[in-house]
Amino acid sequence: MWKTHRVAFAIVIVAMLPMAAVQSGCESSGGTTVSNMMGGLTTTLPNPLAKVQKATVKVLKDELRYTSVSEKEDATSAKYRFLNAKDEKIVVTLDFVDENSTRINIHVGVFGDENLSNLILDKIRKRLY
Q: What is the pLDDT of residues 77-121, one digit of tens each?
A: 999 999 999 999 999 999 999 999 999 999 999 999 999 999 999
- Which band of pLDDT confidence, cut at 50, 70 and 90, is reported for residue 5? low
Domains along the chain?
A: 27-128 (3.30.310.240)
Q: What is the pLDDT of residues 23-58, one digit of tens each?
A: 434 443 444 557 666 789 999 999 999 999 999 999
The whole-number pLDDT of residue 44 equals: 96
Q: Rounded to the nearest 5°, which phi and psi values hold at 100?
A: -120, 20
The reported pTM is 0.74
The whole-number pLDDT of residue 26 equals: 43
In the chain, count H helices and then E strands.
Answer: 3, 7
